[in-house]
Each structure stands twice: as C-alpha cells, then as structure tokens.
C-alpha cells in the first residue's frame, strides 16, 4: 500500500485528545486498553500501535509496536523514547514465533473484509505455539445488527465507512483456522476478541 493510504499523520496532532472524548467509538477507551493489557504477558507485539497509549497499562517483558504511519511512529517515539517498527497487518517485520501475544486496539477495522483472514494468519505466524491474539475494536454481532445500531444511533454513515468485523464472520474464520476463540462485548460498539494459537503437539517417540 502507498504511504498516502497510511496517512494518519494528520490525525497525530489531536489523536490523544480525541480518544478522551466519550464518542461512540472511544467510549470506555482506557478501560478497553486495560482489559487488553491484563490478558497478555511475555513478548507482546502491538499492531497499529498509534501513539502507544496501551503502554500505560501493559506489564510485559518486552513490547514491540508495529505502525505504518510515519507521523504516528514519530509521536510514539516522542512520548516513549523508542520507535515502533514500520509494518502493518499483512506484513509484520518479525520472524516466525517471536511473540507470546499479538494485540491490536481500534485498528482491525482498517483491514478490508477480504484481507482479514490473511491478517489473522500473519499474526499467527509471529506468535509462539500456545500464544494469543487479542483484538479490541468496534464490532457487531452481525451485519443486521450493524445496520440496526447505525440507524438507531444516527451513526450509519460512519459505521458503513469502515470495515468493522462481525462476530459471526470472525467465528467462521476461527473455525476455518481451527482456532479457539472467545468474545467479550464491552459496550454497544466495542468488543474484545481473543484467539488462541494451538500449542505444538508433543511428538511421540
């Protein structure tokens, strides 16, 4: 993808103020980051890490941010003193089996529906066997629910403008990839999804 498509640079200046607004996307923002942070440990890779707000809550041995926007990476460095890697969901610049957990908050909706499975496969690639993916984002039970909520709340145009996942779709995806998964609804819009990479089976001698 071109640099233009990663142009979150213009949002960098106001991003940390914007997430404090309790609008429909960012309601419970801090709580969501805390809930994701408390589910992971060891080496944690954070895809679309933005300005790195989750670092306030993470207690892990090693943190690796991955972020395609140059502006976001610069802001992250200004705040935390080190820079995330330049990469994205379909190209994580890490070796296979590097991480105990791959997390992503408020970013998965930037992945087009037809690329979501490849994105999950790329996250699985960098995970150790037995590792976990934890994704927090706006999601809906189904497309039907997405339309209903969008209409009821007057958010339909914004909702249809992004690639919000459905729980139905992600469950099917997990079934295809033989992943155990669980879903927790945090509020009307935001869910946390956890997918577990199977541990390697022990070879019998």
Ligand X SMILES: C[S@@+](CC[C@H](N)C(=O)[O-])C[C@H]1O[C@@H](n2cnc3c(N)ncnc32)[C@H](O)[C@@H]1O
- Of 68, 84, 131, 150, the one binding ligand X (CB under 6 A) is 68
Place of tokens 């070879």: 203
Which of 48, 202, 49, 178 has the alpha carbon at shortest distance from 119? 48
Work out the angle between the directed axes of helices 70-80 and 9-18 (0-180°, nearest 10). Answer: 50
DSSP 3-state of 130: strand
* 164 near ligand X, rule: CB under 6 A: no
Which of 120, 122, 137, 124 has the alpha carbon at shortest distance from 33? 137
Place of tokens 């996942």: 165
* 84 near ligand X, rule: CB under 6 A: no
* 108 near ligand X, rule: CB under 6 A: no
Cα–Cα distance for residue pair 143/99, rounded to 1 Å: 33
Which of 169, 106, 115, 118 has the alpha carbon at shortest distance from 140? 169
> Which range, of 93-101, 102-110, 138-146, 175-183, touches ligand X by CB under 6 A?
102-110
- Residue 69 or 155 with smaller CB distance to ligand X: 69
> Which range, of 45-53, 77-85, 149-157, 196-204, touches ligand X by CB under 6 A?
45-53
- Of 43, 53, 155, 166, the one binding ligand X (CB under 6 A) is 53
- Of 58, 64, 75, 89, the one binding ligand X (CB under 6 A) is 89
Cα–Cα distance for residue pair 17/26, rounded to 1 Å: 11
* 49 near ligand X, rule: CB under 6 A: yes
* 105 near ligand X, rule: CB under 6 A: yes
Please report how close the Cβ of residue 205 comes to ligand X at its closest, in angstroms. Answer: 43
The residue sitting closest to ligand X, measured at its beta carbon, is: 50
DSSP 3-state of 154: coil
Please report how close the Cβ of residue 15 comes to ligand X at its closest, in angstroms. Answer: 7
> Which range, of 68-76, 143-151, 159-167, 183-191, touches ligand X by CB under 6 A?
68-76
Cα–Cα distance for residue pair 107/128, rounded to 1 Å: 22
- Binding residues for ligand X (CB under 6 A): 6, 8, 19, 47-50, 53, 67-69, 72, 88-89, 105-107, 110-111
């Amino acid at each position: 993808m071109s640099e233009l498509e990663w142009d979150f640079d213009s949002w960098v200046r106001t991003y940390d103020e914007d997430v404090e607004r309790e609008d429909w996307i960012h309601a419970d923002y801090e709580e969501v980051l805390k809930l994701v942070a408390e589910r992971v440990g060891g080496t944690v890779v954070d895809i679309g890490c933005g300005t790195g707000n989750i670092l306030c809550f993470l207690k892990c041995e090693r943190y690796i941010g991955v972020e395609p926007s140059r502006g976001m990476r610069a802001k992250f460095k200004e705040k935390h003193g080190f820079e995330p890697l330049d990469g994205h969901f379909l190209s994580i610049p890490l070796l296979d089996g590097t991480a105990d957990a791959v997390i992503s908050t408020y970013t998965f909706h930037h992945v087009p529906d037809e690329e979501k499975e490849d994105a999950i496969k790329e996250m699985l690639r960098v995970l150790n066997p037995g590792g976990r993916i934890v994704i927090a984002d706006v999601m809906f039970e189904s497309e039907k629910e997405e339309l209903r909520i969008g209409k009821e709340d007057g958010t339909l145009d914004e909702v249809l403008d992004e690639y919000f996942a459905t729980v139905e779709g992600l469950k099917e995806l997990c079934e295809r990839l033989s992943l155990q998964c669980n879903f927790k609804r945090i509020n009307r819009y935001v869910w946390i999804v956890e997918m577990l990479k199977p541990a390697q089976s022990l070879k019998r001698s």
